[in-house]
Every structure is written in structure tokens, then in C-alpha cells.
Amino acid sequence: MSRFLLVVPPLTGHVAPLRAVAAELTARGHEVAWCGPEPATSELTGAATVFPAGDAAAFAVERRPEGLRGFAALKFLWESYLVPLADAMMPGATAAVAEFGPDVVVADQQAFAGALVATRCGIPWVTSASTPTELAEPLRALPKIAAWIDGLQDGLRARHGVVCGDLRFSPDLVLAFTTAALAGPAPHPGVRFVGPARAPAPAADFPWHALDGRPLVLVTLGTANAGAGRRFLAESADALAGTPDVQGLVVDPAGELAGDGILLATRIPQAEVVRRAAAVVCHGGHNTVCESLAAGVPLVVAPIRDDQSMLARQVVTAGAGLRLRFDRAKAPDIREAVAAVLSEPRYAAGAATIRASFAAAGGATAAVERLAALVPVAAPGAG
């Protein structure tokens, strides 16, 4: 069998699809190892073999300044996160490749060190596009910004003695964990849509007996938005408490909310709850959007930052939900949006269309078949 090294940033949403891919690879008899900043990579993967590459504390989401928007957010992402992360991960990624001897390196689209080391060592590498942010090349209409990003990549390549193309797109394979039905066609020729890949989540207690049979509306802003989300969560709680024909469930990681007429939880088994929901109100995180649409559940999306705005636009374009302004939406706005996605059949129909596209794409199984096809080229007779 073959060896696959998965190189990731310390970000839950970026690790999640590769956990499912790793499980499928292992089930087929392949050897899998991970590489990323510690201790987060071990905590997020639960893997036995993790090669450390940098200090996760230096790249924790919580260190990002709140309120960044537009070019300021993009500038911070590249200058203060992606490029420093690549530099910090290079020694560990180099050591991981030398010790593990992978046949293929799978590098998350934000873990450039994987692409740099694989290219330098002559090993085929695959891009893991956990979100559709870069697939449509959104900066094509902004040539000066695109040139600035190219310059930052030039600096990375020069510092580490690597000659290659765009570090965000492997010349061998780009695994996109979405579908064209949601994300639209990808102009990059190497993209292969495999749909969401989901591994079993850690168990979480949940009072299933408290569900009373009314349509369930879940409100969640993910794991990294507790501070930014206080106002929106409170407005959502008020909106659902004032809607007696639905049952509201608001996930409040900080445990600060109080309210009658709704359920509150600090943590939930999200995929299981989503399957019982009639609608989901969220921030547009890729995992939450895909879990909801995979269950055919329409969405109300209030994006906060980064790729969430793009995902919200995709949901609206697909007819699978509505969009709200995160920083302006009040309880009446949220209540009205929830009522619309529950009462107008077109939203459920749009979500059902995306659900069908996800099922047809193949998920982790399709991803592994694509990866395995690279191995004979990389290592004839491997196994």
C-alpha cells in the first residue's frame, strides 16, 4: 500500500474533510500521517502519527483582530497568517517528509508548506480545498491585489528555494469538497468536485427528549465566533422565542444567554441535530452550510468574514436560503427570514437539489479514488 502525508493548518474547518479522507485511506490499507502546528493538529485529528510543524498558539483564530473587513481582512490573512504560517511550518514539514517518506502529500489550500516541501522533494502533491474561496479565482477582476498576492508567494518560494506555480493549486489534483451545483463551475482545470467529506464527530450530550415535535430551527455560529456573535445570538434567541409555531435551539458556546421558550446549549452533536432541523441559521461556515444542505435543510446565512460571504452568495444563488446582514439583523429580521425559508417551498427545493449533488459526488470515497490514482505515477509498484 501507499503513504499519504496530510499537511494542515490548525483550523477545525480545514481539518474536518481530511479526517474523513484519512479514515477511508486507512480502511483501504494505506498509511496516513498528519503534519501541522501542535498541539492543535493532534487534538483536531485524534491521529496516532502527527509530525509537529510550528506552534498552534501563534496561529490560533482567537488572535485575529475583530472587525476586519474587505482588503484589511485579506491583508491580515496573507501578511499576518498564511505567509508566516508557511515559514513556521517549513522545518517540521521538511522533517515529516524525510522521516515518513510519503508517496503523495495532501496540502490544505492554506498550508503552503506542504506544497513547498513536496515540490522541492519531487513528490506529487494534492491541494485540499476545504472551502470554495479560491476556486473561482475571485481576484481576477482586481489585478493589483492579485499581483500583490503573487509577490508574497514569490517571496515564499525564493526563501525556501522552490520553483513552482501558484501554491494554492496543485498541478496534479485539486480536491474541492463541494459541488458545482453549489459553488458554480471552477475555471481552474485541475479542480475535481468530490462533495463534502464528513468523519464522525466526537460525542456530545444532547437532551433529545426536549424536542417537542414543532419544526426545529437551529442557530449556530460555529466554534470560533463566540465573541463576535453575542449580539446576533441574542437577537436570534429573541426572534425564536417570539415564534410559537417553531422550536428554537441556539448554540451559545459562552453560556451567556438566558431566555424562555427556546433551547440553549453550549455544544451539540451538530450533524445529528441538523438532520432533525427544519431550518438552520448560521454564519456561513463551510462545514455548517454543507451539513445543512447534505440533509436538505434550507438556510438563513449571516456571514461574518472571510469566505462566508461567498458561501452565503452561493446558497442564495442556489435558491437554498436567504442572507442577512450579520452586523445589522435584529430579531424581527431573523424571524421574518426563518418564516420565509420554512413557508416557501422553493427554498426546500433548492436545498434538495444541492443534497442530490452532494450524494452523487461521492465524498471521501471519491477523494480517495482520486488520490490513489496518483500513486502509480509517484511510485510504480508501491504497496
- Tell me which CATH homologous superfamily contains domain 208-360: Glycogen Phosphorylase B; (3.40.50.2000)
Contact 175, 362 (CB under 8 A): no
User: One-letter amino acid identity for 267?
Assistant: R
DSSP 302-332: ---STTHHHHHHHHHHTTSEEE--TTT--HH
Question: CA 306, 307, 310, 315 torsion: positive or negative?
Answer: negative
**Alpha-carbon distance 107 to 101, whole Å?**
15
To 10 degrees, what angle do helices 112-121 and 83-100 make? Answer: 40
203 phi and psi, to 5 degrees? -65, 145
Q: Check if 3-195+362-378 and 208-360 are the same fold.
A: yes
Q: Which residues pair with 280 in a beta bridge?
A: 218, 299
Question: Of 197, 241, 185, 220, which is closest to residue 308 (Cα–Cα)?
Answer: 220
Domain ranges across the chain: 3-195+362-378, 208-360
Which residues, in sequence order, are CB contacts of 300 under 8 Å at separation 6+?
Answer: 279, 280, 281, 282, 321, 322, 323, 324, 334, 337, 338, 341
User: One-letter amino acid identity for 15?
Assistant: V
Classified by CATH at the fold level, domain 3-195+362-378 comes out as Rossmann fold (3.40.50)
Contact 276, 211 (CB under 8 A): yes
User: One-letter amino acid identity for 102?
Assistant: P
Could you tell me the three cell numbers for 5?
A: 502525508
Fill in the DSSP letter of residue 29: T
pLDDT in tens, the chain (383 residues): 899 999 999 998 899 999 999 999 999 999 999 999 999 999 999 999 999 999 999 988 766 766 666 667 788 889 999 999 999 999 999 999 999 999 999 999 999 999 999 999 999 999 999 988 777 666 566 788 889 999 999 999 999 999 999 999 999 899 999 999 999 888 788 899 999 998 777 667 899 999 999 999 999 997 655 556 789 999 999 999 988 999 999 999 888 888 788 999 999 999 999 999 999 999 999 999 999 999 999 999 999 877 788 899 999 999 999 999 999 999 999 999 999 999 999 999 999 999 999 999 999 999 999 999 998 544 444 44
Q: Give per-residue pLDDT as tens, 158-181.
A: 999 999 999 999 998 999 999 999
